[in-house]
Structure 1
């Protein structure tokens, strides 16, 4: 098609928003389409802080990664990683510990195409085109087994992703499948959009036409999902409240996402 950027895979449906591309747009990226921007802009009309929430989520990711790295973790499985932007997991990890190994997973074709191009020269990273709801395919994938030693501590990430796993997909069972392969001393890093904020509940329907509609959950529901992990302090809090480097301000709820890091016994 004339005028289509060379990074766009041929199988893309231009008319359906993608959560990966919407998040890319919220973070100021360039790998998104008009349909993604319309969905995000409509949601911003009812929740003007939504882009700030995306940036707060990204900042939480970086703090949680450094937390794990400080405790000796050197391998990472990023589930639902989305489209690569500045400050990816491998960039943060390898800046601190160059030997760090990272496996990314996403099923969005734009994310897959862009990431594989970006990571082509890094032997310590891989990108799997898989659905996070198929843990057996991910955990037994040759590239995952090449880079990750599941007998050693690992950090598994589902940052901004659990709210795309609906109740019918049984997120509790899904997390237990991943937890079963994590060695003692491993960490689980998660963030989840909240249903406790009226503005977030009002914004969520604007994403119902995307490939992955949202299932918002409250704090107690997020805590229940993470029940198989020992939550490190401060437990389940808004992203800006999780071990902040600067005071979180007067309205931490505007970050819209609960965040937590859990440890495996």
Structure 2
């Protein structure tokens, strides 16, 4: 059983984060969405909330200087860290060896873009735990869920507004394309809010944790076709489904017929439908042809 106090001395605080950044001549960039966590209590909370098992293989995206990595190493079987910045990727194994020498052998660092990384590069991780760059958080989560069916659970720290959108349910203001697409793969729920003060540099917004648990897709339909349907339904949020899906179906009249066949009121809007209801629309369209 992981005991957080056994690694407290290994974790990075504000002084260590700035020292490492200065040593590497690293200046966090907005382009890469780099905001480094420098609060040990925050990374302890992330690891605890992730509910990892001793045999989990954790995929960490954007480890940066290693704040979260050092907290993950004693909590699981192995950590595979994907880092796009070659300077940071090159330094991370040395940081682990210096601050947690007895655990450093559990770390594998892959220099790659998380939006393009493949199972061939990272293997079969069982859990995603990451402080994701704000600018690519949703695309990264969706890519990894699609590319890595081995992922059973995940806990990601993202911009608070993005966390709301990922975990939102039908009918809520935050519900949209990310909500539906993530729901295809997993049950997601928003967890605690994280203050912006735990990051360097300090971002302009707060963050939040989102936890997801993989489940079987809600229907036996083609995922890519379903996602195209969802994109069409939300492209014009204020329009009824009959109007919004006119281009997708060929005409508003045909969209209305498909919706009626699926048991969906054509006057509803996309934000009111579950992923299962979107699947019914696709099934109805297939029978309509």
Normalized against structure 2, the TM-score is what?
0.47
CA RMSD across the alignment: 3.9
Unpaired segments of 5 or more residues in structure 1? 1-22, 41-50, 166-170, 195-216, 241-253
Distance 1:182 1:65 in 2: 22
Written as runs of structure 1 = structure 2, the 5 A alignment for 1:127-166 is 127-136=109-118, 139-141=119-121, 144-145=122-123, 149-150=124-125, 154-159=126-131, 161-165=132-136
**Residue 178 (structure 1) shift:** 1.2
**Residue 27 (structure 1) shift:** 7.1
Q: Is the 8 A contact 2:81 2:108 kept in 1?
A: yes
Q: Is the 8 A contact 2:21 2:65 kept in 1?
A: no
**Residue 32 (structure 1) shift:** 2.5
Aligned match of 1:258: 208
1:182 to 149, 162, 166: 149
* CA spacing shift, 1:188–1:80, aligned 2, 3 Å: same
Distance 2:15 2:205 in 1: 13
Distance 1:27 1:188 in 2: 27
Distance 2:52 2:26 in 1: 41
Task: Write the deviation string for residues 108-138 of structure 1: whole angstroms up to 9, x where unpaired.
Answer: 23312211323567332111111111122xx
* CA spacing shift, 1:164–1:231, aligned 2, 3 Å: same
Written as runs of structure 1 = structure 2, the 5 A alignment for 1:223-234 is 223=167, 225=178, 227-228=182-183, 229-232=186-189
Aligned match of 1:95: 74
Q: Is the 8 A contact 1:64 1:261 kept in 2?
A: no
1:31 to 15, 20, 27: 20
Point out which structure has higher relative CO (alpha carbons under 8 A, 6+ apart).
1
1:80 to 59, 62, 69: 62
Q: Is the 8 A contact 1:31 1:110 kept in 2?
A: no
Q: Is the 8 A contact 2:115 2:140 kept in 1?
A: yes
Distance 1:73 1:64 in 2: 18
Distance 1:119 1:35 in 2: 18
* CA spacing shift, 1:63–1:255, aligned 2, 3 Å: farther
**Given the alignment of the two structures, is residue 126 of structure 1 paired with residue 108 of structure 2, yes or no?**
yes
**Residue 163 (structure 1) shift:** 0.8
**Residue 64 (structure 1) shift:** 3.1
Q: Is the 8 A contact 1:238 1:255 kept in 2?
A: no
Which structure: larger Rg?
2
Unpaired segments of 5 or more residues in structure 2? 1-11, 168-175, 196-203, 216-289
Written as runs of structure 1 = structure 2, the 5 A alignment for 1:55-70 is 55=38, 59-69=41-51
Aligned match of 2:242: none
